[in-house]
Structure 1
């Protein structure tokens, strides 16, 4: 615990009256110095790492969940609940344990360290009026860079939602998709499986899941422990079993089946689903450093726990579990890359979790070889780790390209949302719908319709539809009907809207968006897009808590001289503006900000200004899927080709899609075609 937090906790203990206090801590070093606090005989000091989702009273007796009991246990409030967390990632794990915390008049949440790119933990009240009795709120920065948030209530409130509000305040107002299905947690090591989520129920190891009237509070129960679980007694709610020691221990992986598959109940399951997921809301590429230093690091074992060293310096001591936090990532951003050593750890789980966390954060982690027991990483991630070497990472462009591939693979395979899609399927709950992206394609140029639709058709990993606005011409224009039929034959939906030539561009966009069926809107220009463009934007939409995501104009194709230039800029951070042709936002954001303005140009810029004015966040992700087409005329960006050549760090003859090797395939429209003014931002 930081010295700056000690006076806060002592003061809080002094004003809680005659009621008992609960002081908890979670994360490496968070419990340091708590023993010196002036606790009374009725108070409790609890290490949440040892208690978990179910396994201790925490001043609140477990609820009686027997059929017909209808009880909720001892719900007496306490005078103070304090949660001291080493990092924001640890605080989000504490939220997942909050079902065991009592109601309170006074909540103190302490972050002993901060990454530097998260907001202050300013909470937003829950939506049901629970905080109308709020008396006072304080947020202050500690001397060593951490944060403390204090909330005082005239009437006691549920601690879980209040703690969730504090943790969410540090990430941003936009919460993103919820973890589905609804999960009841049981076991001391269950919290990392749904970080940042207040569990609806914390049943006993044998069940059942608590009911509200006749309906269970969760769709599935997750039981995590080191010992064999008792028979599950709930016939309505299925259970998933995960061990924190046996299957992913050195002894467990050396049996006859080896690392290839882990068997449970006669079913063969994906080994990756036996790893706790990465909390993508905090372990992500936000804050990635493109121009890193020359130093290399090594992920190695020291006393059985993972550490990252560079030469004789220890850059970061990771938790014994191997779970990387946002603070760890911030300490490692300046390294050019990190090589993995696979031996010496207390078990395979810490090194596997460390590698996945580093990859999800975009840290260029690599290895000379990947042992067979590391199969839970997944085949694709394992292959990526061995695809580069230290020399390869010396090139800034190659390093960033590798980082993009790593983060994409790790987040799609091991993030919380991805993990629970797989676990929900294993529990036979059936798939839930993915958000649909409506691609808005407005053009005045019939000769580019086929090219643009072919690029949309190449998009991978996303459910999409196209709303095509033909601005000033009809589907009977040469080649247009054939292009539309070719796209529709691929199985994706397309809606065609013919706009009058005299309509203002902003009005055409709004009429196009009104025909969209998706919950997410993506604007598409006649630039060049890689096949992961939309899927990567959707990832950033989740992990960046952003209202608008896009990328910068780093890669530009100068059509007049047939040359591609790279002008690197900052990415993976909140900004004021992104390139209009890469803009992706939720439909509800468009509605809240008044849709596109009825202007002939600059409508994307005006939308982003409106988002910022409303308190929203615009986020710039990497630009490796997007190549801006720079024509000789028709831009509001008035600089000539010399401007782009002068600032270019690298350039190539011909057209290279976002810096990726090779030219664009034949069939892309060539130089010399100009865009009419007003159709691009």
Structure 2
């Protein structure tokens, strides 16, 4: 049988690096010594105990991006070579490396599929490049743009491999005592050690003025949310619920990889036996794959509860609600972000998890103020400041304070003649957070709306995140329509009442444009023109209200009921269960 790398040519000798716990990668390497264009020396990471130099090329082999990112911190000094390649044996989509400016001149770059066995990226240089740094950059870029920082927590590992997720700065130590070495310029805050080891005292380190915290019971290994996430979730399906064993066999025997998740998108759900590996369960759960489980699972109680709920997977809406509940619980308790936050808490170290958000609420309608304040006050799972921009009226500040409780807020007032864009810009300037969210005064938001936007921002790495206006309540007709809006994908448009972006990006665009109407369209057009990425997450936590008046943009109700764009239509107010609508907020005539 022809080897997947049969047509690859690399200058020899070639160092082939592989994680010896990565069975899929090891299996794919069988026969590589017979490939005519490669002179390989296969070296498992666990055998490395120092620099490995003198190679003509380096080939890193991993099952998928998650395993590549995990092994990055274990790659030693490799010297210089003119070719560095990365073969992801069970990853479905090629990715292109963007060279760094300090590297030697790039003379050739290729990213392609390797037959029916994964994808390959090859970088060739005019002169020798530091292979270790190229490999680390490959691991960093493989998941696309996004947060690659450690959030302020420096972690080392003693006697065990690094946890999933990219942490290129983490140091692998032979033992716990090495964390206290006074010659170490960047000592760890936390040392994660192998379970069952004898207790070891770690010396106080002069840089951090304390001894690093040793953790031997960090709980289940986290799942890398930059790789395993809901991007690509399908509201429909081609096949019924499938057993995990059968699904994995279709892709190739082994653990759940990116390829397995991609294949699962075509199924109504995946049935997991009671002995499913926790890592496999978490990879599917955080990816939003609808799951049918049996038995007790070694996961956080909120995730176990979400998995145990009775769900009618034949109903597309109930199926998506189940997917959302499961992926949210998995993210909150088992993502690398949650795992590192828990370690930081044990060590008493600051850690940047989900950032605070300033919600910008412009309104011309005093009659909608109570309603709008309740939408902000009910938010959970996120730190939210409200910047109320009253446009043409003076709000009751005591009413605002009572409605928001201890939530931070600011109240700004503007003359009725002020441009809508100027009102929003002033609100953005007054905001205290680095992440801004534009909200509307008459739309419904679930208690998890801000959290879910931040979650999508984290896993997508997008510049702007928003929800679709998938659910629309038509007040005059007393109808709720669910439109055919694809979600969990990169797109050109999101609902204006859900725009989440960084303050720095807004400033670079010249703030909100000085316009009377269509301020959202101006912003999105500017982001797209600048090459920014816009991500549309789920639409279950947002309902657009159409009253026929008071909007800065006008559309007839019938436009929202066109058969070609409507998936479902109900009499009365019928949002998703994920909205958790408060009875106080039911519209007149709502059922």
Contact 1:656 1:664 in 2 (8 A): no
Deviates most, 504-513 or 589-598: 589-598
Cα distance 1:483–1:156, how it changes in 2: closer, same or farther (>3 A)?
farther
Contact 1:186 1:205 in 2 (8 A): yes
Deviation at 1:382, TM superposition (A): 1.4
Distance in 2 of aligned mates of 1:544 and 1:381 = 22
Q: Does the residue aligned with 1:596 lie in a helix, a strand or coil?
A: coil
Deviation at 1:208, TM superposition (A): 1.3
Aligned to 1:148: 120
Indicate the RMSD between aligned Cα atoms, in angstroms.
3.0
* Residues 230-261 of structure 1: CA deviation (Å, up to 9, x unaligned): 8355443425444xxxxxxxxxxxxxxxxxxx
Give the TM-score normalised by the residue count of structure 2. Answer: 0.89
1:223 equivalent to 2:221? Answer: no
Aligned to 2:455: 539
Distance in 2 of aligned mates of 1:108 and 1:468 = 52
Aligned to 1:365: 291
Deviates most, 287-296 or 413-422: 287-296
Deviation at 1:115, TM superposition (A): 3.1
Contact 2:149 2:167 in 1 (8 A): no
Cα distance 1:662–1:39, how it changes in 2: closer, same or farther (>3 A)?
closer
Distance in 1 of aligned mates of 2:29 and 2:365 = 64
Match runs of 1:151-230 below 5 Å: 151-153=123-125, 156-175=128-147, 178-188=150-160, 190-191=161-162, 193-209=163-179, 215-224=185-194, 228=197
Q: Which runs of 5+ in 2 are unaligned?
A: 206-210
Distance in 1 of aligned mates of 2:568 and 2:374 = 28
Contact 1:654 1:663 in 2 (8 A): no
Match runs of 1:337-352 below 5 Å: 337-343=269-275, 351-352=277-278
Distance in 2 of aligned mates of 1:655 and 1:103 = 65
Contact 2:152 2:350 in 1 (8 A): no
Cα distance 1:23–1:426, how it changes in 2: closer, same or farther (>3 A)?
same
Equivalent position to 2:412, from 497, 500, 504: 497
Q: Does the residue aligned with 2:138 lie in a helix, a strand or coil?
A: helix
Match runs of 1:442-591 below 5 Å: 442-475=362-395, 480-488=396-404, 490-526=405-441, 527-591=443-507
* Residues 570-594 of structure 1: CA deviation (Å, up to 9, x unaligned): 1111001101101111112212322
Aligned to 1:94: 71
Deviation at 1:100, TM superposition (A): 6.1
Aligned to 1:246: none
Deviation at 1:156, TM superposition (A): 4.8
Cα distance 1:79–1:239, how it changes in 2: closer, same or farther (>3 A)?
farther
Contact 1:366 1:388 in 2 (8 A): no
Q: Which runs of 5+ in 1 are unaligned?
A: 62-73, 243-263, 265-272, 300-306, 344-349, 673-681
Give the TM-score normalised by the residue count of structure 1. Answer: 0.78
Deviation at 1:412, TM superposition (A): 0.7
Deviates most, 103-112 or 519-528: 103-112
Aligned to 1:22: 15
Deviation at 1:209, TM superposition (A): 3.4
Equivalent position to 2:237, from 292, 302, 311: 292
1:238 equivalent to 2:238? Answer: no
Match runs of 1:48-127 below 5 Å: 48=45, 51=46, 55-57=47-49, 61=50, 74=51, 76=53, 78-99=55-76, 101-102=78-79, 104-116=81-93, 120-125=95-100
Deviation at 1:554, TM superposition (A): 0.8
Aligned to 1:275: 220
Cα distance 1:233–1:177, how it changes in 2: closer, same or farther (>3 A)?
closer
Contact 1:200 1:217 in 2 (8 A): no
Deviation at 1:214, TM superposition (A): 6.0
Aligned to 2:568: 650
Equivalent position to 1:378, from 300, 304, 307: 300
Distance in 2 of aligned mates of 1:47 and 1:541 = 35
Distance in 1 of aligned mates of 2:38 and 2:87 = 21
Q: Does the residue aligned with 2:6 lie in a helix, a strand or coil?
A: helix
Aligned to 2:33: 35
* Residues 13-45 of structure 1: CA deviation (Å, up to 9, x unaligned): xx35xxx5411235413323323256999x731
Deviation at 1:464, TM superposition (A): 1.2
